[in-house]
Structure 1
Amino acid sequence: MNSNHWHILGAGAMGCLFASQLVEAGCRVTLLLRHRPEASSSSLTVDSENSSNELTVQLDHAASTGEINHLLITTKAQDAVDAVKSIAPRIGKQASILFATNGMGYAAAVKAFMPDNPIYYATSTEGAYRLDTLHIRHAGRGITRIGSAEGLPLPSWHEDWRKTSLDCQWDDDITTALWHKMAINCAINPLTAIHQCLNGELARRKQLKQEVGNLCDEIAEVSLAAGFDTTAATLHEDVAAVIAGTANNRSSMLQDVAAGRSTEIDFITGYLLRTAQKYSLDLPHNKNVFNKVLALGL
């Protein structure tokens, strides 16, 4: 059994997927729940195309006791800072904090009250969705990139991830990967939420296709100014490819709006707009969709 014990904040699809993989790799895994669980452990079910796998994970309440030395955060971006604050007294002084959360901008707030803890990031193209509580479907294989935006070296705990069946890679330039994913999300997610449509409609409907193009023009401009040259050069093609490859998907932002939940707009388009301000760039199309999503009142 691997000696590393991972605590995971967020029991959604990706949190459960990563939990199952780390358990299979020999790690101890505890899911930290908002409400006190009825039992100290539970079965976690992962369905895939040809199989269904059940594993046992430990359950704990976020406000419980016991030191945390390896923390994985898979909550929504808007919940990340409060989630870490809720367990801050339990986090060891040198404990690693690994964010696997959409968008950008939340980690700076965490660093402000936990300045000594090394912070890492993970971005993944694995496909997973929730079927029920602690029951997910692993719907597609991808790549999981892990890295440090602070130039920290490869940590010893990365071996835990290498032992999983996921394609996990250490990325020395994780900020570029995070920006690229955020840029694509900026072009797709807000429009699907506003127009209540599947991703594929953004390519099929002429008006929406033009809106995507307008957003991409502005996102590319900011990307270039911020030093993300590759994203700027390939954004139109990459967004088109993602729309085509996920044509039948409902974006996470659309799902949040449909369920009456708050969205990640402030850490996706909002972060883009804040970055644009640094370079005195005006993004009228992105500002428009940002305000429209805010106007949904979520």
Structure 2
Amino acid sequence: MSAAEVLIVGTGALACLFAARLAAAGVRVAMLGSWQAALQAISQTGIQFTALDGQQSVVRAFATADPNEVQGVQQALVLVKSWQTERAARQLQGCLAEEGVVLTLQNGWGNREILSQSLGAERVALGVTTVGATLLAPGAVRQAGEGILSLGAQPRLGRLIPYLRQAGFQLEVRSNAEALLWGKLVINAAINPLTALLGVANGELLHRPTARQLMHQAAQEAAEVAKAQGIELPYPDPIEKVEAVARQTAENLSSMLQDVRRGAPTEIDAICGAVVHAARHVGLSTPTLEMLWLMVRALVEQPNQP
């Protein structure tokens, strides 16, 4: 199949959400992934989508693990986990048109660099999203928050943006992509590991004094690392911002908590780990972030075999 207008790389929560909303809006969508259970479910029964208002629908989309079945892709959204980015880049090498564009909406740091190394920087665009999604089962997703798509300016996005607007996504285009990425990285580093460690929804962090203090400390540390690199965050106060996000997404289960509950690898290395490494590079200490990084790693790692 090569007639897709937008290729979604990934089959997880956000990938299914974007595919469902685009397809429901009349956009021809294909999905490229490696999770066999999801590929099978989507191929056999479609994407089971639950909207914010609770309305349920089934949306059909072509899904495959073979890049040869989606040749000549002009627009692609990369929505895999950060630890899957290298594999996604290899898949896209085999199907992205020379004049095509890939938009990464992934969490964490380093995804754009990995994609650019394989595909060329001129074919890669960076964005962040605050749209929330909860995976209910392979191929089944519930939207958990509306949110905004913030995209770094890139000439080739002119062909993709109309499709996203057609699907009802709220969009903004910013000139400074680095600020967008760090703006979300600060929030993710402060909220996601704590929710994963405590097993709670985002809003619960506001009602536990010690957790709230740790959230503040993590946000402040990450913001200081951004500042030391000359990056101006897209909000003036990181603590006020992280509090606001926790309130606005109070019922959401962070993607990291969902990963832990499913026994899947987390993105902790690309979130807290990336900030800790950046801090060391500029001579800063980030004790809270380093603790959260190591604790989440300890939570999910397998014991050494005798």
- Quickly name the TM-score band, shorter chain normalised: 0.7 to 0.9
1: CA distance, partners of 2:218 / 2:121: 38
Helix, strand or coil: the match of 1:233? coil
State, as a whole percentage, how many aligned pairs show the same letter.
29
**Contact 2:195–2:254 (Cα < 8 Å) also in 1:** yes
Residue deviations 1:11-60 (CA, integer Å, cap 9, x gap): 22221221123223432211123237499675333222153333321122
Q: Is structure 2 residue 188 aligned with structure 1 residue 195?
A: no
1: CA distance, partners of 2:221 / 2:240: 15
Matching residue's letter, 1:136: V
2: CA distance, partners of 1:263 / 1:218: 21
Equivalence for 2:11: 11
Aligned counterpart in structure 1 of residue 135 of structure 2, from 120, 130, 149: 130
Matching residue's letter, 1:219: A
Structure 1 residue 284: deviation in Å? Answer: 1.6
**Contact 1:62–1:87 (Cα < 8 Å) also in 2:** no
**Contact 1:42–1:59 (Cα < 8 Å) also in 2:** no
Moved more, 45-54 or 287-296: 45-54
Moved more, 44-53 or 183-192: 44-53
Aligned counterpart in structure 1 of residue 223 of structure 2, from 220, 224, 240: 220
> Structure 1 unaligned runs (5+)?
none
> Structure 2 unaligned runs (5+)?
302-306
Equivalence for 1:62: 66
Structure 1 residue 131: deviation in Å? Answer: 2.7
**Contact 2:179–2:232 (Cα < 8 Å) also in 1:** no
Matching residue's letter, 1:270: G
Equivalence for 1:141: 146
**Contact 1:41–1:56 (Cα < 8 Å) also in 2:** no
The number of residue pairs the alignment matches comes to: 294
Distance 1:212 1:290, change over 3 A: same
**Contact 2:133–2:144 (Cα < 8 Å) also in 1:** yes
Q: Is structure 2 residue 8 aligned with structure 1 residue 23?
A: no
**Contact 2:180–2:234 (Cα < 8 Å) also in 1:** no
Helix, strand or coil: the match of 1:229? coil
Helix, strand or coil: the match of 2:273? helix
Helix, strand or coil: the match of 2:237? helix
**Contact 1:93–1:116 (Cα < 8 Å) also in 2:** no
Matching residue's letter, 1:101: Q
**Contact 1:147–1:174 (Cα < 8 Å) also in 2:** yes
Structure 1 residue 181: deviation in Å? Answer: 1.0
| CA RMSD in angstroms, aligned pairs only | 2.6
Equivalence for 1:236: 239
Structure 1 residue 287: deviation in Å? Answer: 1.2
Distance 1:237 1:55, change over 3 A: same
Q: Is structure 2 residue 101 aligned with structure 1 residue 96?
A: yes
1: CA distance, partners of 2:42 / 2:236: 51
Distance 1:201 1:163, change over 3 A: closer
Distance 1:13 1:118, change over 3 A: same
Aligned counterpart in structure 2 of residue 287 of structure 1, from 278, 287, 290: 290
Distance 1:170 1:25, change over 3 A: farther
Q: Is structure 2 residue 108 aligned with structure 1 residue 72?
A: no
Q: Is structure 2 residue 271 aligned with structure 1 residue 259?
A: no
